[in-house]
Amino acid sequence: MNILNIEHISKTYGDKVIFDDISLGIHSKDKIGVIGVNGTGKTTLLKMIAGLESKDAGEIICSNGKTIAYLPQNPEFPEEGSILSYVVKGKKDKDWDVESQAKTILTKLGIYECECSTKNLSGGEKKRVALARTLVAPADILILDEPTNHIDNDMVRWLEEFLLKFKGVLIMVTHDRFFLDRVTNKIVEIDHGKLYSYDANYSGFLDLKTQREEMEIATERKRQSILRVEKEWIMRGPQGRGTKQRARKERYERLLNASGSREKQSVEMDSVESRLGKKTIEVNNISKSFGEKLLVKDFTHIFLRNERIGIIGKNGAGKSTLIKILIGMEQPDGGSVDLGETVKVGYFAQECESMKEDIRVIDYIKDVADYIQTATGQTSASQMLERFLFTPEMQYTPIEKLSGGERRRLYLLRVLMEAPNVLILDEPTNDLDIETLTILEDYLDSFRGIVITVSHDRYFLDRVVDRILSFEGNGQLQIYEGGYTEYMEKKEEEQDIIIKQEKSNKKEEYRASKEKKLKFTYMEKKEFETIDDDIESLEAKIQETEEEMLTCASQYSKLTELTEKKEELENQLELKMERWEYLNDLAEKIENQD
């Protein structure tokens, strides 16, 4: 059932067409990811649905009684008030304990001081607090603009689970491809003022989009073929006193004026870098604290030529601080960082550098160079801008007219045009569209230099890095070989070992206390008298089942039955062990009273 309809919407900004007669039906339980190149109107579409942006034509119809909650890309906050009061404002009339739910969500998002003033929050903290406000007592329709920005990997995984359990409609813009794959069941693509809807997650969208583009190409070939035939007919002229068939002429005119399939624009970047000598970046026993908080302790590492390393950790762990120490923007409390003479760093900061609003796009790039040498020859600033989707018209517009994502893309181009041999990228996936990210990843494949990146984007890390540098807490940094998926597998193995050790310790405690005689109530006494035998019996049954499984390894149905039986016995054993712990705790208290 449709609960929200977008009908024949049009929108322009000056000479730029944002939407050209678009329509979309949104059903209950739709979880929609909106994607497209930066500047195509993704945020504008979300604002229109939320009722915060006007339309030139068309209408958006929402079912009666449906509530909408909107998370903006850059939330605004009141000058005064506590975090908790901001999050629960207007939601206390719900049936559940809103404040309790708010505190839980804030904690999951790394906000622990709920009574602090909102005026002291950083930009990233504001985004997380605003996200908490959107998720508390959620509305029927959630509209989220870049919800994964400024949250670490653990928070992203928690948010995934929250949204997967959410029963209402979700409409969001995000460039996190793993997140899109896990959460969405529909992708809406904005391309040159049109909407294309795909009933699939991100992986399915890639296949369906390829099919659509192939059909468009085939249709265009057919149109061109018919045009050639019709043009020959038109050019031959009328025979004798006859006249051309009017219908055929009109058909030719329609074919001639029809828009063919557009050549796909893409961000392309030839390899641009400087030679890197033998000595690169050597980190010698550095430490760094802020007040009582220890971020880095005795860290030593030599960055190898062509090394690709991803830095991960919780928000506030010190990732950006470490990067700033590497490039000299921060000084360590102890230790040193030595850079080789040939090292030329390109630093892509988490926040765009300050840009003069009134200067033209092309002048911003020409401040670096009018021409630059690439692998295929000399290229002008204008040509490089075109490869980054800045049309000739856009190049001569002031920066103030660019969207946030377009500014981020422009900033990335400027960093790359400086021809670095060490690229340091702090959250490069924030506010860059998927198409730009894909080409950046391809560029990094051929980049002859060192790449150091801080990112919570799991797809980007898997695609780009071959090592993970993890902030483990208490200033400890640990290096893991492989990408993010390999890192997670190693962490899960470590966690399994810890859990097995804890279970083993509990069993040892049980065996050590097994002979202890205690006085209980009648029922507790009866239970305690039998619990030892019950546990031993369950352990024996598990062992028998395991032996039986070995004898019928080739009998699939029997093996499945035994596996389920073993799992059930293990669950019963775990419950018995928990009950045993309770009885022993109670016995200890009785003994102390005596």
Give me the DSSP letters along 442-478.
HHHHH--SEEEEE---HHHHHHH-SEEEEEEETTEEE
Q: Among 34-43, 72-81, 585-594, whose mean pLDDT is lowest?
A: 585-594
Residue 241: is its pLDDT beyond 50?
no
Q: Note whether 342 and 274 are within 8 A (CB).
A: yes
Can you point out the beta strands (E) in 251-365?
A: 281-290, 293-303, 308-312, 334-339, 345-348
Residue 307: is its pLDDT beyond 60?
yes
Q: Note whether 278 and 343 are within 8 A (CB).
A: no
Average pLDDT score over residue span 238-250: 55
Residue 94: is its pLDDT beyond 70?
no
User: Which range among 184-188, 367-371, 522-526 has the greatest average pLDDT?
Assistant: 184-188
Q: Which amino acid would we find at residue 53?
A: E
Q: How confident is the model at residue 238 (pLDDT cuts 50, 70, 90)?
A: low
Structure tokens given for 551: 């004898």
Q: Which are the contacts of 36, defined by CB distance < 8 A and separation ≥ 6?
A: 42, 189, 190, 191, 433
128 compared with 371, residue with greater pLDDT: 128
Tens digits of per-residue pLDDT, 452-474? 999 988 999 999 999 999 999 89
Tens digits of per-residue pLDDT, 19-56? 999 999 999 889 999 999 888 899 999 999 999 999 99
Considering Cα of 119, then 121, then 123, then 128, what sign does the dihedral take? negative
Which pLDDT value is given to residue 81? 86
Average pLDDT score over residue span 300-310: 93
Which pLDDT value is given to residue 165? 92
Tens digits of per-residue pLDDT, 151-161? 888 899 999 99
Which pLDDT value is given to residue 256? 58
Q: Which are the contacts of 238, defined by CB distance < 8 A and separation ≥ 6?
A: 244
Residue 284: is its pLDDT beyond 90?
yes
The helix (H) or strand (E) run that includes residue 291 is none
Q: Among 23-37, 254-268, 355-369, 543-557, whose mean pLDDT is lowest?
A: 254-268
Which pLDDT value is given to residue 182? 92
Report d(CA 449, CA 549) in Å as an integer: 54
Report d(CA 169, CA 153) in Å as an integer: 24
- DSSP H helices in 23-113: 42-49, 83-88, 98-108
Q: How confident is the model at residue 145 (pLDDT cuts 50, 70, 90)?
A: very high
Q: How confident is the model at residue 198 (pLDDT cuts 50, 70, 90)?
A: very high
251 compared with 85, residue with greater pLDDT: 85
Do the bridges between strand 57-62 and strand 2-13 make them parallel or antiparallel, or are there none, so unpaired? antiparallel
> What is residue 572's three-state secondary structure?
helix
Residue 217: is its pLDDT beyond 50?
yes
Report the b/e string of 381-398 with b at 16+ CB within 10 A.
bbebbbbbbbeeebbebe
Which pLDDT value is given to residue 95? 45
Q: Note whether 145 and 187 are within 8 A (CB).
A: no
Helix 246-257 × helix 202-236 angle, to 10°:
140
* Pick from 48, 51, 44, 1: nearest CA to 25: 1
Q: Which residue has the tokens 């309790």?
A: 100
Structure tokens given for 61: 């119809």
Report d(CA 316, CA 300) in Å as an integer: 21
Q: Among 25-34, 121-130, 510-519, 523-532, whose mean pLDDT is lowest?
A: 510-519
Q: Note whether 4 and 62 are within 8 A (CB).
A: yes
Tens digits of per-residue pLDDT, 329-352? 999 999 999 999 999 999 999 877
Residue 266: is its pLDDT beyond 60?
no
* HSE value, Cβ hemisphere, 13 Å, CA-based, for 489: 7
Residue 484: is its pLDDT beyond 80?
yes
Tens digits of per-residue pLDDT, 408-450? 889 998 998 888 999 999 988 887 888 888 888 888 888 889 9
**Cα separations (Å) of 50 from 4, 66, 538?**
11, 12, 58
Q: Which residue has the tokens 């908790």?
A: 84
Report d(CA 509, CA 519) in Å as an integer: 20
* Pick from 149, 160, 177, 156: nearest CA to 438: 177
Please give the radius of gyration of the chain, using alpha carbons only, rounded to the nearest integer. Answer: 31
Q: Which amino acid would we find at residue 206?
A: L
Q: Note whether 197 and 24 are within 8 A (CB).
A: yes
Report d(CA 546, CA 565) in Å as an integer: 10
Look over the chain and give the mean of its residue pLDDT values, rounded to a whole number: 84
Residue 249: is its pLDDT beyond 80?
no
Q: Note whether 373 and 364 are within 8 A (CB).
A: no
> What is residue 45's three-state secondary structure?
helix
Residue 227 neighbours by CB distance under 10 Å? 15
Q: What is the pTM of this model?
A: 0.69
Q: What is the 3-state secondary structure (H, E, C) of 495-559?
A: HHHHHHHHHHHHHHHHHHCCCCCCCCCHHHHHHHHHHHHHHHHHHHHHHHHHHHHHHCCCCHHHH
**Cα separations (Å) of 12 from 20, 111, 390, 567?**
8, 39, 18, 61
Report d(CA 426, CA 451) in Å as an integer: 11
Report d(CA 198, CA 200) in Å as an integer: 6
User: Which range among 179-193, 510-524, 527-541 has the greatest average pLDDT?
Assistant: 179-193
Q: Note whether 312 and 452 are within 8 A (CB).
A: no
